[in-house]
Every structure is written in structure tokens, then in C-alpha cells.
Amino acid sequence: MQAAQEQAPSPASASASASASPPPRAHHSQSLAALFSANLRQDRLALTGVVLLTFFLVVGIFAESLAPHGPRERHYDDAGRIRRLEPPSLAHPFGTTDVGRDIFSQVILGTRTALIVGFLAALLVTLVGAVVGIVAGYYGGWPDAVLMRIVDFFYAIPFIPFAIVLAAILQPSIWNIILAVSLLTWRTVARIVRSQVLSIAQRPYIKAARVAGAGHTRIMTRYILPNVLPLVLLEMAFMVNWAIMAEASIAFLGFGDPRLTSWGQILHLNFVSGYWRIAWWWTVPPGLAIILLLLSIFFVARALEAVVDPRLRNR
Amino acid sequence: MAVFVAKRLATMILMLLLVATMIFLMFRTMPGDPTASMVDPSIPREARQALLERYGLHESLWTQYRIFMADLVRLDFGSSYFYNRPVLEVIGERLPATLILMFAAMLFAYALGVLGGAWMAWNRGTWREAAGITFSLIFRSAPTFWVGLMAVMLFAVTLGWFPAQGMRTTGYTGDTFREVFVSLDFLRHLILPAAVAGLYFLATPLLIMRNSMLEVMSEDYIEMARAKGLREIRILYKHAARNALLPVVTAGALFIGAAIGGQVLIEVVFSWPGLGREIVQAVTRSDYPLAQGIFIIISALVMSMNLAADIVYGLLDPRITYH
Amino acid sequence: MLDVQNLTIEYTTAAGPLRAVEDVSFTLQRGESLGIVGESGCGKTTATRALLRLLPKNGAITAGRILFDGDDLVRKSDAEIRRLRHRHIALISQSAMNALNPVYTVGEQIKEGIRAHTRMSDQEARARCVEVFGLVGLEAKRLDSYPHQLSGGMKQRAVIAMALSLEPEIIVADEPTTALDVVVQGRILQRLRQIRERISSSMIFITHDISVVGESCETIIVMYGGRIMERADTRSFFRAPAHPYSMGLQNAFPSIADIGHADLVSIPGSPPDLLAPQPGCRFRARCPFADADACQTRTPPLLQVADRHWAACWYTDQAAGFRARARDHATWRKAAADGR
């Protein structure tokens, strides 16, 4: 049964590739970048992805200057009444909430939260996953067996329930969400990296390096890491998406960081207010923002994947 | 085969005990007094002490753990603070709703995904394939709960085709399983949440099936089947699809863990009285025995689905031997 | 029975059209065995796939006719072709290792082919399977094995049995033994020869190994760069190859008797890039005897050099001299050096 397990693509990378073991070749980072940019010129979807992602990054970085209002600021009309549930207008492009807050500003500020959670969590997840995967795949034997049983254990834990329990026990904060994502998701990366390392460790040049007296650490960092790096980068792209989605979901359920504006939180307030059935301008923008950001990363990942896996290049 | 299943079941039980230990420790090591949220802080000290003793919370951590595990082995999950009833009873009421919604969504996603993935591979390089990929990636990028909100807004509120929430029309009370689940009214309530959840799951079987079909279609035995003079439709579904299904099955198993998360969100949006919505409420109400119990049951669900997928895989692929 | 006339096949690729087969003509008589030899990429597989109309989606027959008992296969509808495949023209695929679907038993796969073309019942088809399994020397119980339970040689024999199951007029064997080790190869080839004596099917044998053809075929076609370089009666061909490329090939694959005696001479260089237009002889760049004029600019037609022996070379009259020089390594090395 083990064989079947090994071929299993991760749920995250499943969206793009059926096989989790692209033929690895030692890429130099330079040629990797060159291949990627060559791919951009051909693949219009990938180019769209890069443009969109850049846009989101700019919005995220300059969110505070770009947002016309504070996220909690209440707006009043000339008569001094709260501008509650106003549809989009020039003053409030995405309309207002039931307590007269500017949705446009909230969505802009939410961009930053999404990007921070996405990239930090993905970084942690891939770091831990890659280290575990390389160690397990390289040493084999009991370290591999132990680490893989731990991986199996974490596969059995349902993510959202775990995250809300964790958020309820610790204080709901952005850091705890990042912690929850990292705790449960490194397993995916570990598994994929491990199977890749298993095939690389059999290569003649690894054996040659060992014969030549290279230490374990040296072999892992100098010979194996460069070979799994493209795959790790690709997985990281999927993890960014996964983390952004996870944050939005947890915040939507009301276990998010109450002090931070996030897309999930906007939708949470929208949902519990009950006005989501009529105030479409309150529901649509944060959802569209999530879709566009995730889609842009998927498109970039697809281009990256074509670089990692030469078999996919002509599709 | 029997040995394999027995072994896997044993591992599963061990894993479940580990999951239970983890969740126990998570709840017991939380900062602050667990009773603070559970009982009204204004009630007298004596009454509070009585409550603590009633739920065994005055014992040492180790004793509590021993009692917890011993109860668990006897399938006693304790008693819900909120409902004041055995946890298992509450779970038993909620489980069918969750399972039905989950299987309906999976069925929707897999039927559409497998057929659509094969179709996309067949139309490789055309605009149809590109549209299919973009379509599935959009739904993979869209938060399930948001799609749910939009679906209710459009199909329930605006168009009025389907009910907006719940499992049965408001005011209806059914007692037996048959009364609640076997009816047209239930089906009408099921369609929208199942379709929304299914659309989210869809990308995985669809894209894997497509990639896997493309790989299989370049295999020599496909050319051989053509050389044998078989009809294209037979080659597509008997020879290519059967082989291409293998990775779809495996990926599906690993996807279930994530899928249950999506299920929680769907249940909340559609007020679907299942385990997912219940665990969210239990955590909000600090009803820890109930949250604990549901957590363990959901884990067990994930594990049994994985096992089921492994067995199905073995049935589909004669090369797999169980050992 | 089979008459291929001026067959030309092109692939549409990202880099432009690729003419994989050009102006190929040959005939095949009932019971005849024909060997098509050439390096990989010479068009031999493409040409024979065209007989079954099994070209990939980007490949098309752009000119020529394939007459099978007088009917042009190029013009037949898909349904007509489907009925013809396996029943009349069967294929023994290149890689027996992968020619069988791993999820069905061997017997199921053979029966499926039989039942697609006949009204045989399940039992009758099964009986026929047992029969052809006997023919290839496999036990009947192997019918219930899955491909992964068989050795490479057994799989190859099962594939051969499948091709024989409907006693087709023509069997196309595409490199039937390349994936196997030498000993098994020899056994399979011998088995094929025995079978040919017992049934009346004609056979087209595609291979890159010229010695295989020498032992199994009456007629030989040598292809290079999509064109026929030489077409001859096998005996005449081995006695006196008339095309420089054939001479090179013969040196590269010595017959079993020669091993250990003669030096192996391989042809340096690589086949021409068929994406580029090809004026002159296809072999000019690697040919040690090519001149600076005709060979570079005009494509030589097939010229008769003897009874049942044709070669596409402008200098067939000097073939005897070429043959003597072709045995020397230096001749080929010099050509490679000049070519670059």
C-alpha cells in the first residue's frame, strides 16, 4: 500500500499536477529565473497573474496611505445621521456597513492582513516541511519512520476545527492563526519534499559526494537542497493561498483577530449583521479580492510549475 | 486484505487515542479557569464548587486524563455543558446531517470532476479546456462560505428557487431518521449547500483527472486498444479512465481532511444542523466536552475515509497487494 | 494485396511542418514478410502507423494512396478503418511492456479484441485465446494473469498472441523485441518465424537492427530521413548493398557469425533535421561518397540496380567500390569531419 501513498499528490498541489515527482534537474537559480520569465512571455495567464499579484503587493504595502478612511471611522451625512448601508457612491466606492463604516478602506487594509498571514505562514510551513522532508528522505531508516508517522498523525487532524479550538484557547490573534496554519500544514510539504529527496538520494553524484567524504550536512545543503528548491518554491506558492484562505475562513467564523481588519472579518460582520442578504456591496468586494489574489498566485504557480516540471512545458 | 484492514484499524485507534490526548491537553492547559466561561461568574462559590465536582474538574490533570481516556474507550464522551445531555447523544443527532451533506457534495464533485476531467483531456489544447481550468481555479480560489453567501443571495433570496437555510422548512419537527431525511423538502434544502461545497471540492478531481488522463492517453496500451479496433468511447472510459482514476482516488483521500473544514463553513452559512456548525457553537459557548467529542469524531471520520480510499484503490488497481 | 503508393506524411509542430515520411512506395504480397529498417526518427514507425491510420492528432497523410485489396485506406471513414484494424491488419506494439493495460487480465484484453470484431460468445473467444496462447507457447492459465504478473518475454508473447487472434491478413510488428534481453529476443524471433510458417499472414517487421531482418524477411526496405534509400530482395541486399547508408548499417550490425571478427563500424553523425527543407540526398551530410553537386541539390529517385533491387543513390554504378571502402573506419570518420 505504501506505493500508492507515495504517488499521492498533495491536496494543495493537486490543482496543477497529478504526479508529485517531477523529474528533478539541478537548476541554477539564474536559469530558473530565465526559464520563468521566458514562460511569462508565452503564457498570458501567468503574465496576468504577475501583474495582479504586483498590484496586490503595492496595495498591501501602501494600504495605510491608500485607504481614504480608518476602518472603524463612522460616517455621517449632512444631517448628522449615520450613513448606514449606503450602496456604492463616489464618496464610498464600495458603500458603507450597517454602522456607517467605509467598506472600500476596509478592503484595502484587509489586503495587508491577507498578505502578511499568507507569506509568513507559507514561509514557516515550507521551512519546517522542507527540513523534515529532507531529513526524513535523506537519512531513511528510523528517523524517516518516526517523522512519517508524525506526518500521518497531522493528516488525521481536521484543520478548521483545530484552528478554532486553538483560537478559542489562546487569544484570537493573527499570530495564532499563523501558528495554527503552520502546525497543521507543514506535513504536506514534508511529504512531497521527502519523496523527491528519496529519488535524488539515489543519484550517482550524491553517492560520489559521499564517497568523496562529504558530510551529511554538506550533502543535504549543497547537493540535495538545490535540487528540491524549485519544488519547495512551488509548494510555497500553494501554501500562501492555503494560508490566506484559512485566515479568511477562521475570521469569518468569528475567531479572527478583532483588532485587525481582514477580508474574512469584514465578511464575518456582514454575516452576523444579517444584512448580507440585501447589502451586496458589503459581501461582494472582499470575496472578489480573495478570489483575485488567490487566482493570481495560482497563475504564477502554474508558470513556476512548468519550469519545475519540463513535461508540463508545452501544455 | 483482512489483515491489512485489521492492521489499519489498529493504527487508526491508536491515532485516535493520540488525537484525544492532544485535544484533552489543549483544553486543560488553557490559561484561566475553565469554569469561568462555563458558569455565570456571579453564582455563589459553593454552587460553583459543586459544578466543578460534578464535571470532575477539581481533580488533578493526570486523574482527569485517566478518567477521560477510560470513558473514551467506553465511548463515553461526557456530558455537554450547554445541552446538559450526553455528548454522544448530541453527536448522534448531528452526524447524519453532516454525512449526507458531505457525501452529496463529494458525489457531485467527483461525478462532475471525473467526467469533466476526462472531457477536458479529450479537448486538450482547445478553448474548452482553458475555460475548464479557469473555471475550476476560480472556484478553488473562492472562499466556500462566500460562494455560499452569494448562492443564497441569488438563488434563495432573489430568485426564490431554493430555501435559504436549514434542513427542513421552519416549524417542521420530525423525530425519526425517516421523517427528517426522506422527503422532497429535505432534498430541496440539500441541493444548494451540496452544490456549493461540491464546487469547492471540484477542482481537485477535475484537474487531477485531466492531468492523469493526459498521461494515460499517451500510454502504449491506449494505442494498442485503438489498433485493436475498439470504439473511441470504449477506449476513453474503459481503458483510459479506469487507469486515470487511480491518482484521483488517492488525492481524494488526502483532500478529505481539508474538505471537512469547508464543510464546517458551509454548515454555518446554511444553518445546516450538522457537526460542523455544532463544533463552532460549542467552542463559542465554551462547551468543551461537546467540542472535544465532535473533534474526535471528525478525526475518526477523516481516518476512515482515508482507509476507505486505500481499499477502493486496491480494488481498482490489481498491482497493489496488501501487506 | 497491399500497395503503398507515394505516401507522404506531415506533422504539424510548433516549429513548423515536419515531413516525417516522403514519397514512400512498396508492395506486400500475401504471405510475404517485409522488413523496414532505419534509425529512430527515419519515418519507419510513422509509415506503418499510417497503414492503420493510427497517426497522432498532429500527423496527416498529405499525399499518396494505401491500397489494401484495391481499396484506398486513406479515404476510408473512421468506422471502416476501425473494422479493419486488428481483424485484417493487426499491430504488435513497440513496447510489449506497456502495450497491455495493467488493470485488466491478459485474457480479458485478447477477448475484447476478438469480440469487437466477431460474434463469438465469451466461451468461444476464450477457446480462441487458449489456442493462440498455445501458438506462442504460453500456458492457458496465464490468460487470467494481470500484465504485472508476467515476465517481459511472456508479455511480448501475449501481445503477439493478441495480434494473431483473428488471423489477420497483415501483422505489423514494430520493434517487437527491443525491450527484451538478447536471449529472450532470440527466442521470440524464432517463435515468430515458426508461427509465420504455420499461418498465412503477411508480416511487416520494423526494426533498427538489420540482422533481425536478414533472418526473418524476404524483402527489405531501408529508410532514412523519411525516404526509402534502398528496397531489395533480402538475399540480394545482403550480398551487395547498393546505397552507402545500407553499407554503414550492415557494418553497424554484424551478423552473429561476424561477432569477434570484424570491427564494428558505426555511422558518425545524426539524422537530418526534417523541419528544414531537404534539397538533394537525405544522407548527403553523413555520406563518405557524396559529391559537391548532384548529391547536394537533387533528390535521387529509386533506381533499379539488379533484379528486385532498387537504391536511391546517384552513384549506384560505383557501389562495388563503395562497399570495399565502407569497411574501413577511416572512410566514415572522414565523412563526419567533412560534414561539420
pLDDT value for A21: 36
Neighboring chain B residues of A267 at a CB cutoff of 8 Å: 143, 145-146, 149
With both helix axes pointing from N to C terminus, report the angle between A103-139 and A141-155 in degrees, rounded to the nearest 10.
Answer: 150
- What cell was used for C173? 510488428
C309 touches chain B (CB under 8 A): no
With both helix axes pointing from N to C terminus, report the angle between A159-169 and B2-28 in degrees, rounded to the nearest 10.
Answer: 20
- The arithmetic mean of pLDDT across residues A52-80, rounded, is 80
C-alpha distances (whole Å) from C296 to each of C161, C244, C247, C279 are 47, 15, 20, 7
Q: Is C29 helix (H, G, I), strand (E, B) or coil?
A: coil
Minimum-distance CB partner of C146 among B223, B231, B318: B318
B-chain residue closest to A153, CA distance: B15
- Measure the CA–CA gap between B266 and B274, rounded to whole angstroms: 10
The answer to whether residue B241 sits within a structural domain is: yes
Q: How far is CA A235 from its chain centroid?
A: 9
With both helix axes pointing from N to C terminus, report the angle between B184-217 and B144-151 in degrees, rounded to the nearest 10.
Answer: 130
Neighboring chain C residues of B225 at a CB cutoff of 8 Å: 101
Q: What is the CATH number of domain C2-217?
A: 3.40.50.300
Strand order in the sheet with C227-233: C89-92, C170-174, C202-207, C33-37, C219-224, C227-233, C309-311, C303-306
- Helix count and strand count (H, E) for chain C: 13, 12
B279, burial (CB in 10 Å: exposed 0-12, middle 13-18, buried 19+): buried
State which amino acid sits at residue C49: R
The answer to whether residue B81 sits within a structural domain is: no
State which amino acid sits at residue C117: H
A130 touches chain B (CB under 8 A): no
What residue segments make up the domains of chain C, in order of their start? 2-217, 243-337
β-partners of residue C206 are C36, C174
Q: For B129-161, what is each residue's pLDDT tens digit?
A: 888 888 888 888 888 889 888 888 888 777 778
A11 touches chain B (CB under 8 A): yes
- Measure the CA–CA gap between A5 and B104, rounded to whole angstroms: 26
- Measure the CA–CA gap between C129 and C145, rounded to whole angstroms: 13
- Show contacts of B126-131: CB within 8 Å, 24+ apart: B129/B210
- Measure the CA–CA gap between B174 and C310, rounded to whole angstroms: 90
Cβ pair B228:C113 closer than 8 A: yes
Residue of B224, B245, B249 to mutate, testing the C interface (most C Cβ within 10 Å of its Cβ)? B224
C166 touches chain B (CB under 8 A): no
Q: Are strands C59-68 and C2-13 parallel, antiparallel or unpaired?
A: antiparallel
What residue segments make up the domains of chain A, in order of their start? 38-75+93-312
- Measure the CA–CA gap between B122 and B307, rounded to whole angstroms: 32
- What cell was used for B226? 485503438
Q: For B232-282, what is each residue's pLDDT tens digit?
A: 888 888 888 888 888 887 777 666 666 777 788 999 988 888 898 899 888
A9 touches chain B (CB under 8 A): yes
Sign of the C-alpha dihedral, residues B50, B52, B58, B62?
Answer: positive
The torsion angle over the Cα atoms of residues A207, A213, A217 and A221, rounded to 10 degrees, is -60
Minimum-distance CB partner of B303 among A3, A156, A290: A156
Q: Is the pTM of this model over 0.80?
A: no
pLDDT value for C262: 46
Residue C262: CB atoms within 10 A of its CB come to 12
Cβ pair C101:B239 closer than 8 A: yes
Neighboring chain C residues of B231 at a CB cutoff of 8 Å: 82, 116
Q: Are strands C33-37 and C219-224 parallel, antiparallel or unpaired?
A: parallel
- The arithmetic mean of pLDDT across residues A271-282, rounded, is 81
pLDDT range class, residue B168, cuts 50, 70, 90:
low
- Measure the CA–CA gap between B264 and B282, rounded to whole angstroms: 13
DSSP E strands in chain A: the ranges are: none
pLDDT value for C340: 46
Instruction: Report yes or no for ipTM above 0.90.
Output: no
pLDDT value for B174: 64
Looking at the structure of chain B, the number of domains it has is: 1
Question: Which of C188, C59, C310 minimizes the C-alpha distance to C207?
Answer: C188
Q: What is the CATH number of domain A38-75+93-312?
A: 1.10.3720.10
With cell 476512515, the residue in question is B304
- Measure the CA–CA gap between B105 and B261, rounded to whole angstroms: 13
C-alpha distances (whole Å) from B39 to each of B42, B55, B204 are 8, 12, 45
The answer to whether residue B24 sits within a structural domain is: no
Minimum-distance CB partner of B258 among A3, A159, A284: A159
Give yes or no for residue B170 having a pLDDT over 50.
Answer: yes
The answer to whether residue B28 sits within a structural domain is: no
Do B292 and B23 form a contact (C-beta atoms < 8 A)?
yes
CA angle C228, C230, C232 (to 5 degrees): 125
Neighboring chain A residues of B26 at a CB cutoff of 8 Å: 165-166, 169
Do A246 and A158 form a contact (C-beta atoms < 8 A)?
no
B-chain residue closest to A6, CA distance: B250
Selected residue with higher pLDDT from A314 and A275: A275
Report A:62-121 residues touching B (Cβ under 8 A).
none
Cβ pair B227:C87 closer than 8 A: no
Do C89 and C169 form a contact (C-beta atoms < 8 A)?
yes
- The arithmetic mean of pLDDT across residues B160-173, rounded, is 70
pLDDT value for C284: 85
Minimum-distance CB partner of B208 among A18, A152, A264: A18
Q: Are strands C219-224 and C227-233 parallel, antiparallel or unpaired?
A: antiparallel
Q: Are strands C33-37 and C89-92 parallel, antiparallel or unpaired?
A: unpaired
C236 touches chain B (CB under 8 A): no
- What cell was used for A85? 448601508
The CATH number of residue B222's host domain is: 1.10.3720.10
Give yes or no for residue B51 having a pLDDT over 70.
Answer: no
- What cell was used for B154? 441569488
Cβ pair C100:B224 closer than 8 A: yes
Burial annotation C202-222 (CB, 10 A radius, 16+ → b, else e): bbbbbbbbbbbbbebbbbbbb
A154 touches chain B (CB under 8 A): no
Cβ pair B157:A277 closer than 8 A: yes
CA angle C114, C163, C234 (to 5 degrees): 155
The answer to whether residue B77 sits within a structural domain is: no
Do B309 and B250 form a contact (C-beta atoms < 8 A)?
yes
Q: Is B205 helix (H, G, I), strand (E, B) or coil?
A: helix
Tens digit of each residue's pLDDT, chain C (340 residues): 899 999 999 988 877 888 889 899 999 998 888 999 888 778 888 888 888 888 888 888 999 999 998 889 888 898 999 999 999 999 988 776 788 888 889 999 999 999 999 999 999 999 999 998 988 888 999 999 998 888 888 888 899 899 989 889 999 988 877 767 777 777 788 888 888 777 788 889 888 878 778 777 889 999 988 899 999 998 888 888 888 888 888 776 655 444 444 445 567 777 777 777 778 888 888 888 888 788 888 888 888 888 889 999 888 888 888 888 877 777 777 666 665 4
Domain that includes residue B236, residue range:
91-322
- Measure the CA–CA gap between A37 and A43, rounded to whole angstroms: 10
Note the helical H segments in chain C: 44-51, 78-84, 96-99, 106-117, 122-136, 152-164, 182-198, 210-216, 234-239, 244-252, 294-297, 319-326, 329-339
C-alpha distances (whole Å) from B141 to each of A38, A160, A233, A254 are 26, 17, 19, 21
What's phi and psi for C338, nearest 5 deg? -65, -35
Q: Are strands C89-92 and C170-174 parallel, antiparallel or unpaired?
A: parallel
The answer to whether residue B135 sits within a structural domain is: yes
Question: Which of C223, C218, C273 minimizes the C-alpha distance to C245?
Answer: C223
Cβ pair B27:A169 closer than 8 A: yes
State which amino acid sits at residue C334: K
Half-sphere exposure of B196 (CA within 13 A, CB side): 29
Half-sphere exposure of B158 (CA within 13 A, CB side): 12
Do B203 and B140 form a contact (C-beta atoms < 8 A)?
yes
